[in-house]
Amino acid sequence: MACPDAPVIDATASSDDFSAPLLAWYDRHHRHLPWRTPPAETKHGVLPDPYRVWLSEVMLQQTTVGAVQRYYLDFLDAWPTVDALAAAETEDVMRAWAGLGYYSRARNLKKCAEAVANDHAGRFPDTEAGLKALPGIGDYTAAAIAAIAFNRPAAVVDGNVERVVTRRAAMETPLPQAKPMIREIVANAVPDHRPGDFAQAMMDLGATICTPRRPACVLCPIGTDCAGRVLGEAERFPLKAAKIEKPTRQGAAFVAVRADGAVLLRKRPPRGLLGGMSEVPTSGWNARSDGVADASAAPFAAEWRSCGTIRHVFTHFTLELAVFRAGPVSRAGADGWWSGPADLPHEALPSVMKKAIEAAIPGATSKS
């Protein structure tokens, strides 16, 4: 590209080239994360294990770094390789994922591991297209794995990158309409050298400096090469489409307790809301309609006593769940299984279900 005699900064260094100051900043201020290979090593050609990159990236989809760390280490401990994960019981994977949310990720994680183990000899594809063909890997994750694990110049665009780019360009086009423009800008900015570090530098910048509220522009390595900062209104970007109001739904949950303290559980349908996860019996609420909110919807006749109401906020609706408890009951689980006090904390119970059980039996779902 550039001829050897050219000055370090010349006319070919367009205003789209902000990778150099960004990478210099990343060398000094990068975050230390368990799945990350630090720049001191990547500079010497050391690349992270694609399995670990993939595992972390899937967990990080719409999920904060703080929430992911413990799950990541637990998964790595239980299943150190993609072959180990492929050989695991799906139910064990769902249990390990419980509480992290977006449970289709866990189902696809298992499917993806099986595909890599069985169809790719246990090695992840090293191209964006190959990666994107796998379950649970979309545009972002394919680009991230390609860049970070295989050093390919992929345009990695996540929420952080969208914020950094729209602010730097003072982009008046709202999301998601602006996505193609953002992708193009990033594609033109990816350096031939260190594309993986560039991707992670953009995300670190968005997470620590170019934050959603009160960005620390005075500390930003991009400096005044940012229209949002120069205009004094970086925080106004990115513009977003108006959000829709989320409805509140009503329902009931039933905690049946046996004499030995076991609780009746059942399995939710494999797809949809909390798909494939476990639950206590509930009335038929969902995102679009209320369920019966009193004891008339109980799974069997018993002395159901009210334990109050819990509130849980999903992505697209709020649920108010009236919780009832009965016990000791002696009834063969028609449709589920009895989970004893030692097992209950390890069941594949989503947070809303733990919350309901806690309302009926305080402490019942807490581990050790």
Question: Which residue numbers are catalytic?
Answer: 57
Kindly state the smallest distance separating residue 226's Cβ from DNA, in Å: 17
CA dist 90 and 330 (Å) reads 30
CA distances from residue 226 to 105, 109, 229 in whole angstroms, order as listed: 36, 38, 5
Q: Identify which range of 1-9, 21-29, 294-302, 345-353 contacts DNA by CB under 7 A.
A: 345-353
Helix/strand/coil percent split, the chain, to 5: 40, 10, 50
Is 203 an interacting residue with respect to DNA (CB under 7 A)? yes
Angle at 305 between CA 301 and CA 311, to 5 degrees: 115
Is 150 an interacting residue with respect to DNA (CB under 7 A)? no
Kindly state the smallest distance separating residue 330's Cβ from DNA, in Å: 30
Is 236 an interacting residue with respect to DNA (CB under 7 A)? no
Which of 129, 244 has the CB closer to DNA? 244
Which residues, in sequence order, are bridge partners of residue 319? 249, 312
Over its C-alpha atoms, the chain yields an Rg (Å, rounded) of 24
Q: Return the SS3 of 85.
A: helix
Instruction: By CB under 7 A, name the one of 39, 48, 50, 136 that touches DNA.
Output: 136
142: exposed, middle or buried (Cβ count in 10 Å: 0-12, 13-18, 19+):
buried
Which of 142, 326 has the CB closer to DNA? 142
Torsion angle of C-alpha atoms 75, 77, 82, 85, degrees rounded to 10: -60
Is 234 an interacting residue with respect to DNA (CB under 7 A)? no
Is 137 an interacting residue with respect to DNA (CB under 7 A)? yes
CA dist 180 and 132 (Å) reads 18
Kindly state the smallest distance separating residue 61's Cβ from DNA, in Å: 4
Residue 64 phi/psi, 5° resolution?
A: -75, 155
CB atoms within 10 A of CB 214: 8
Instruction: By CB under 7 A, name the one of 79, 350, 356, 360 that touches DNA.
Output: 350
Which of 26, 254 has the CB closer to DNA? 26
Kindly state the smallest distance separating residue 3's Cβ from DNA, in Å: 36
Q: Identify which range of 21-29, 97-105, 254-262, 360-368 contacts DNA by CB under 7 A.
A: 97-105
Which of 16, 139 has the CB closer to DNA? 139
Which of 253, 295 has the CB closer to DNA? 253
Residues found near DNA in the complex (CB under 7 A): 31, 33, 35-36, 56-57, 60-67, 99-104, 108, 135-142, 144, 158-160, 163, 200, 203-204, 206-207, 212-213, 240, 243-244, 272-275, 286-288, 312-316, 350-352
